Structure 1
Amino acid sequence: MGKSFEALLPDHEQFIAKQHIFFVGSAPLSGEGHVNLSPKGHDVFRILSKNEVAYLDLTGSGNETSAHLEESGNGRITVMFMAFEGPPMILRLYGEGRVVLPGTQEWEVIAPRFTLLPGARQMIVVDVHEVKTSCGYSVPFYNYEGERTTLQKWAAQKGEQGLTDYWQEKNMVSMDGLPTPLGQKLSTGTV
């Protein structure tokens, strides 16, 4: 059944490379805030080392993960992959995440590893302290038919200023009122 590892193994990396979707979980430190779970598609996940991963975060109607990670003393994040095809397995990456914004030195180092899709607003980098696998026996089979292009078309139509305006309207704070790094950058006019 479940097994824990201190770092990603080659088998884990191969499993991750085959998946078309992953899920990201985060929560504020306060027990009263909302727990967030977000599905992520497209080719936006990269393994940087055995204990560090990153994903390119595309524009969304909220920015919960970013706010949770930047909350003072927080940073908790879980990334989960599961097999919908082939042998069953669930793989979770537990760690501490941070937000990397465009224009920063870290962005310039990591960004070349990605194809920057329209609407890319930030990267989430995770320092992984535990990798855990479990059976996945109850996960149903699903067939992958392809990526939706709706978000990329929408972002391209918005253009740079339109995206900035949207971020100011929707991505400045979390649903619990926590500020996001993107919101802090927008409020200082550095976008």
Structure 2
Amino acid sequence: MGKQYDFLTDEDIEFIKFQKVFFIASASGKEVNLSPKGYDSLRVLDNKSILFLDYPGSGDRTARDIRQGGDVTLMFTAFTGKPSILRLFCKGQIIEKTNQKIVELLKYFTIFDVQLIRRLLIFEIYTVERSCGKSVPIMNFISERRDLIEAASKLRDIGTLEKFISDHKTPPILNRKIRR
């Protein structure tokens, strides 16, 4: 049913560029993390690597999992047109804002304010998997939500964004007890 291969094809790269939403999953021996992502936050560097703008959020599990050597999976799915799911199985690399490389890497984006991001992540692909996606519903894109960028802008303007990022560097511990 699905096909696996070692690097992105031209068709895969075009598919990624077209997507308005994608998902990042990660794990490192703790809980499995899964987050939907949007914005113009992803760039294909080459057929084996992806660059991601990591905006501040309430948790930081993806970076935690990367630091602990865990794997990351990016998933893209067609909500319009021909059904398809594309998964990229990766190892991650963290590029903090203090890293000299960030200036060169940010040139891939038309970002309006580098202060609004938490960091960059580079995903090195070790397996690409394409599957049918025939059960995925058809949905129409209306618009991006501006809420996250607006919240980060407000924190930046009052001088507390870096504190927010620091305070949320360690994800909250989940209560793993099942209650009935």
TM-score, normalising length: structure 2: 0.90
Q: CA deviation at 1:176?
A: 4.4
- Take 2:70 and 2:32, find their aligned partners in 1: how far apart are those partners? 13
SS of match in other structure, 1:99: strand
* Deviation string, structure 1 residues 5-45 (Cα, Å, up to 9, x no partner): 111000001111110001000012x3xx2110011001100
Alignment match, 1:94: 89
* Deviation string, structure 1 residues 83-105 (Cα, Å, up to 9, x no partner): 00110000000111011111212
Stretches of structure 2 lacking an aligned partner (at least 5 in a row): 175-180
1:115 aligned to 2:110?
yes
- Take 2:7 and 2:166, find their aligned partners in 1: how far apart are those partners? 37
1:127 aligned to 2:151?
no
Alignment match, 1:182: none
* Deviation string, structure 1 residues 92-133 (Cα, Å, up to 9, x no partner): 001110111112122122111012255211111011011110
SS of match in other structure, 1:23: strand
Alignment match, 2:178: none
Higher mean C-alpha displacement, 84-93 vs 112-121: 112-121
1:34 to 31, 43, 65: 31
State the percentage of identical aligned residues.
Answer: 33
TM-score, normalising length: structure 1: 0.85
Which runs of 4 or more aligned residues in structure 1 lie more than 4 Å from their structure 2 counterparts after TM superposition?
Answer: none
Query: How many residue pairs were aligned?
Result: 171
Higher mean C-alpha displacement, 100-109 vs 112-121: 112-121
Stretches of structure 1 lacking an aligned partner (at least 5 in a row): 178-191
Q: CA deviation at 1:173?
A: 1.1
